Amino acid sequence: MTSSLKIVQTTNEQTIAEFFQASVGEWRSERRYYTLPQGETKEVESLITIRFLEQGCEELQNLAQLHDLSNLEILTCGAQVSWESTDVLKARQESKGCTLFGALGNILYRDRGFATTKPVTAQYYFSNFQTLSLRTEYNSSVFEEEIKLIGSKYRTRQSIISRAGEQLMIGQYLEKRI
């Protein structure tokens, strides 16, 4: 049984919906990863496609089910992010995939994490309307990410991966709308 009852959005949920909507489209991402403390670098280029997901859509209902949420229509909005990545230096495909994000309060529900295929959650906040910050924790690791919209054609991202209070990797990204 489904309900037509909609959850009233909080300011954070309105802001995440606007952020996801502003991110919709295709992006070319140039990434550089620094492995610490050795300082080894890896360069990756990705093609990213972002779709906005409306409350109650099938993808968000499936995501709510993955997280055992009692109301399958409770996630207020979301995004589907698909990517295809190439290792620039080795000229070979790095990875290809898709992930779902769904918002509720200040939590983003995900169908998978950075380093796991299991569902995870991330806390999020906005330092301003163009800058989304995420913190995800699982398997004794912490993943902190900041995504900043710069006008309508650019995004920057930075990811920091830590374990036991020690930073293991820093990823920096420049993304251009195509």
Q: What is the pLDDT of residues 101-148, one digit of tens each?
A: 999 999 999 999 888 889 999 999 999 999 999 999 998 999 999 999
CATH of domain 1-177: 2.40.128.20
pLDDT mean over 49-53: 98
* Residue 66, φ and ψ in degrees, nearest 5: -60, -35
pLDDT mean over 9-18: 80
Does an H or E element contain 70, and which? none
Radius of gyration over alpha carbons of the chain, in Å?
Answer: 16
CA dist 70 and 34 (Å) reads: 41
- Please say if the pLDDT value at position 2 is more than 60: no
Q: Which tokens sit at 89?
A: 């230096």
